[in-house]
Every structure is written in structure tokens, then in C-alpha cells.
Amino acid sequence: MNEDALNRSLRKFLKTVGVTAQREIEKAVREALAGGKLKGSETLPAKAVVTLGGTDLNLTVEGAIELE
């Protein structure tokens, strides 16, 4: 295994996940605000699940998104 190739590929994947997730979360929050589902002062629970084919990895990361 080439450690440098793994590191580059992993960083690229995580950057894509981060940028895409941020964009989609912002969109969902804006839509929920516009639709009256959110007031804009909430703290929203968040969860991300990462799996990796060919391995037993099933990682869950939990946190919160604060709107105010």
C-alpha cells in the first residue's frame, strides 16, 4: 500500500464530503426556515455515518448544528 496515495485520496474524499454536506445542510435549514418548520434559534442534532466497502468500518459521528 502507498501511504501517500491513501492520504491524498482520503483527504480528497473527506473534502468532498465536507463541502457537499455543508451545502446540503445550509439548503435544508433555509428551506425549513422558509416553510416555518424552524424558527432560527434551534440547536439541531446532526449525525454522519461513514462506511468503507471491503472493511468492517461503520463510523457514526454525532454533534449539533446551532442556528443562533
What is the value of pTM for the model shown? 0.91
Structure confidence at residue 21 (pLDDT): 98
Query: What are the pLDDT digits (tens) for 10-60?
Result: 999 999 999 999 999 999 999 999 999 999 999 999 999 999 999 999 999
- Locate 12 and state its grid cell: 480528497
Contacts of 28 by beta carbon, 8 Å cutoff, 6+ apart: none
pLDDT at 16: 98
- CB of 43 closer than 8 Å to CB of 63: no
Domain ranges in the chain are 3-66
Question: How high is the pLDDT of residue 18?
Answer: 98
Are the C-beta atoms of residues 13 and 51 closer than 8 Å to each other?
no
Q: How confident is the model at residue 67 (pLDDT cuts 50, 70, 90)?
A: very high
